[in-house]
Amino acid sequence: MVKAFVVVAMATALVTAMAGAQEQAPNRREFAILAKDHTFTPNKIEVTQDDLVKITLKSEDRPSSFAIDAYRLIKRAGGGLTITFQFRADKPGTFPFYCNLTSDKECKDMKGTLVVKAK
C-alpha cells in the first residue's frame, strides 16, 4: 500500500516536471544577416522576450562584427566568412547592434536595431 503510494507520487512528480519543461521551452528565432558595404541587411530584427535568437552573420566583403552592449555580445566574422551564434533575448527593449571594428572608419556607421517585445 505504501509502495503503491510512492509510485503514484513519483509519477505525479514526473508529469508535473515534464509540463514545466514544456512551458519553459524557448521559442527559437533565426535570422540571416548580411554584412556588406558597411551595411547590415536586414538592419532591424524583432523578437519576443525570452526567445532563443540564432543569428547567422555573413561578412561578404571585409571583416565585420556584430555587437549588442546590453547583451554583452560581440561576434566577429572575417572577410568572406560566415559565423553562427545564439543568445537568449531575456531583456525587453530596443537596442542598437553595431560593428565595433575600427579598421575602416565606415564601421562606425554600421548599425541596426534589435527590438525585444516584452512578454
> Is residue 110 involved in binding Cu ion (CB under 5 A)?
yes
- In the DSSP assignment, the letter for residue 41 is E
**With binding defined as CB under 5 A, does residue 99 bind Cu ion?**
yes
59 belongs to the binding site for Cu ion (CB under 5 A): no
- Name which of 49 and 82 has its Cβ closer to Cu ion: 82
Preceding omega of 63 cis (within 30 degrees of 0)? no
119: DSSP letter? -
Looking at beta carbons only, is 85 or 93 nearer to Cu ion? 85
The dihedral formed by the CA atoms of 55, 58, 64 and 67, expressed in degrees to the nearest 10: -10
Collapse the DSSP code of 103 into the 3-class scheme (helix H, G, I; strand E, B; otherwise coil) and give the result.
Answer: coil
**CB-wise, 45 or 47, nearer to Cu ion?**
45
Confirm or reject binding of residue 64 to Cu ion (CB under 5 A): yes
Does 114 sit near Cu ion (CB under 5 A)? Answer: no
Three-state SS at 81: coil
**Could you list the residues that contact Cu ion (CB under 5 A)?**
64, 99, 101, 107, 110
